[in-house]
Amino acid sequence: MSDLPRTQALRCFITVAREGTVSRAAGLLNLTQPAVSLQLKALEESTGLQLFNRTPGGFTLTEAGAALLPLAHKAVSAASDFRMMASSMRESMRGSLRVGTILDPEFIRLGPFVRSLATSLKKTEVFLRWGMSDDVLSQIGKGDLDVGYYVDATPPESLSSPTASERHIEGGKYQLAPLMRYPYRVIAPAEWSDKVQGKDWADLIDLPWLATPSPSAHRRLLDDIFRPMGALPKRVAFSNQEEAMIDFVESGICLSLARDAIIDRHPRQRNFVIADKATLSCDLSFACLTSRRHEPVISHAFSAMQAVWDLKPADALPASATIPRLRKSVRR
């Protein structure tokens, strides 16, 4: 047998076996009698078997036909299931995708991601909702968002082999696909150089820090470092914008965390220093609820994100800095 039988031929085989005549089968299948006869002939030729005994009273199954009939039912049922699943997937991709975004669009490659979705999911509306890292994850957990970006300290176990992982966070089970590893650096007023250079986290806990909103990654990351030491740092100012954080630091009143992407936007003549011993490695990840990971539109979003970041399952994360980069500060 060179090729698998066509579904139409199997339907004719099943119907004739049940009805006993080509004429009744043709009426039920909305086909002509010659068309049904041709399908049966083609099926017998392709299998090399006689499937029916043709008698004046009608058609009866041969031994081979009786053995193949249950398999014909399974094949037709599988083809029907295939079509129904494909139809369901098409319908689901006509809905919407709600994406939680954080940080700045260029850093998270939001533009290329949205363009990829617009091209590949033409019947799906993409909604973007900017927020802070913990808020985005919380809204994913509640079903208000489908997917979103999330920042967390690099888990120690993934330092050597970062891959997509399942994480339990605040009572929810999430699938996180790491996109990039990058450092958060500690910046301080230029005149505080002797207070931060050569100092570790334990030495910095007594200095004043800039506060950020509780759902921000900054707040969580610092609290996770300092809380095990028995205290949280004194916070003397507040900002929810990364650019403004550097302004606070340059004013001479506090320390703050900062990404290289933000530090590099400032001119060479800047009035802050970068601590050389306290650096925090973070992962930027793409997240969804584990229970929803294989929904078609979410699965497609993960595939698009993987393509945008040029990641393969076994790839190491692209890193903005694997080895901490230190810069000399210059007073203005």
With vertex at residue 132, the alpha carbon angle to CA 223 and CA 210, rounded to the nearest 5 degrees, is: 45
Residue 94: the pLDDT is: 55
Counting every residue written for the chain, the total comes to: 332
Q: For the chain (length 332 residues), average pLDDT per consecutive 10?
A: 74 92 91 92 90 90 92 89 73 76 93 90 85 94 94 71 70 91 94 94 93 90 92 88 88 93 76 92 94 90 92 56 37 30
Residue 332: the pLDDT is: 30
* The CATH number fitting domain 7-89, selected from 1.10.287.1770, 3.30.70.20, 1.10.10.10, 1.10.560.10: 1.10.10.10
Q: Are 178 and 163 in contact (CB under 8 A)?
A: yes
Residue 91: the pLDDT is: 57
CATH 3.40.190.10 region(s) of the chain? Answer: 96-181+283-308
With vertex at residue 99, the alpha carbon angle to CA 97 and CA 162, rounded to the nearest 5 degrees, is: 115
Residue 160: the pLDDT is: 42
Instruction: Name every residue whose Cβ is closer than 8 Å to that of residue 332 and which is 6 or more positions away in sequence.
Output: 269, 270, 271
Residue 301: the pLDDT is: 93
Q: Are 190 and 273 in contact (CB under 8 A)?
A: yes
Short-list 262, 279, 269, 248, CA closest to 328? 269
* CA 330 to chain centroid: 42
Residue 327: the pLDDT is: 37
CATH 3.40.190.290 region(s) of the chain? Answer: 182-281
Residue 87: the pLDDT is: 67
* CA 126 to chain centroid: 14
Nearest-Å Rg of the Cα atoms of the chain is: 32
Q: Are strands 209-211 and 235-238 parallel, antiparallel or unpaired?
A: parallel
Print the SS3 string covering 74-108: HHHHHHHHHHHHHHHHHHHCCCEEEEEECCCCCCC
240-263 burial, b at 16+ Cβ within 10 Å, e below that, comes to eebeebbebbbeeebbbbbbbebb
The fold of the 182-281 domain, in CATH, is: D-Maltodextrin-Binding Protein; domain 2 (3.40.190)
Q: Are 180 and 286 in contact (CB under 8 A)?
A: no
Q: Are 320 and 183 in contact (CB under 8 A)?
A: yes
One-letter amino acid for residue 134 of the chain: D
Residue 319: the pLDDT is: 55
Q: Which helix (DSSP H) or strand (DSSP E) does residue 147 occupy?
A: strand 147-153
pTM beyond 0.85: the answer is no
Residue 278: the pLDDT is: 92
CATH 1.10.10.10 region(s) of the chain? Answer: 7-89
The fold of the 96-181+283-308 domain, in CATH, is: D-Maltodextrin-Binding Protein; domain 2 (3.40.190)
Q: Are 103 and 212 in contact (CB under 8 A)?
A: no
